Amino acid sequence: MTEPILRVDGVVKAFGGLHAVNDVSFEVGKGMIVGLIGPNGAGKTTIFNVISGYYAPTRGRVFFKGSDISGLPPYALAKMGIGRTFQVVKPFPGLSVLENVMVASLCRHPRKHDARRHAWDILEFTGLGPRAHDAAASLTLPGRKRLEISKALALEPQLLLLDEVVAGLNPTEADRTIELILKLRDQGISILIVEHIMRVIMNISDQVVVLNFGQQIALGKPVEVVKDPVVIEAYLGEEAA
């Protein structure tokens, strides 16, 4: 395999004396889906925030297509081709659904007219087209999660960071979202996904990284990871699925 899209190399993130993430290393190859799992408070969102530029790593480095991006601000990374969603969804409530996506589209299509057309295409793809003119605040949770993905996609990213986009959806909606994620993978977008629901991660991931209390306790194919006694112990009582 050539240079991966994303390489996380010994990343440490400390808040005060507390290590939220300690020495985490993994790679996301082109066109791969890598799952990031772990119990609550394992540091999944923290590592997302480090990769997407919201936190600078205390130690270690993050490489995107071979170049060091540690400590770059989020907007620079968005321009380079890293799109992310937020676990706590962040729509612009006062803007319409279409305008929400247009803001992201402007990244690659600086003219408003082009951005509008691009945003329509994205909404069409993610199935939010009929809601385009509604205020983002009027969307229900599944709609908001879909809007999160739409906005990240509108950046035309090469790497997509998805933070709990399935959690909280009913089974039908969850399946639709999973279908969408696989479609994106088939288009060549590399995906790093955080998810609570094991079933989802195990079915779609090529690789799985397991975190526990900020430590990386396992890395490998889903079938191998589920058999790992360390992982089983970390999840004992935590996850029955």
Calpha distance 216→214 (Å, rounded): 7
- C-alpha torsion angle, residues 195, 11, 184, 165 (rounded to 10): 30
Closest approach, Cβ 226 to another protein, in A, equals 32
Chain residues binding another protein by CB under 8 A are: 52-54, 73-75, 78-79, 83-84, 86, 90-95, 99-100, 102-104, 106-107, 110-113, 115-117, 120, 123-124, 129-130, 132, 151-152, 154-155
Judged by beta carbon, residue 135 or residue 226, the one nearer another protein is 135
Complete DSSP assignment for 42-104: SSHHHHHHHHTTSS--SEEEEEETTEE-TT--HHHHHHHTEEE--SS----TTSBHHHHHHHH
Q: For helices 97-105 and 141-154, what crossing angle results, to 10°? A: 20
Q: Compare residues 30 and 90 and give the one whose CB is closer to another protein.
A: 90
Element of type H or E holding 35: strand 33-37
Give the chain's end-to-end CA distance (angstroms, integer). 33
Which of helix, strand or coil describes residue 57? coil
- Sign of the alpha-carbon torsion through 119, 125, 129, 131: negative
| 170: its two tokens | 């009913």
- DSSP conformational letter for 6: E
Backbone angles phi, psi at 113, to 5 degrees: -60, -45
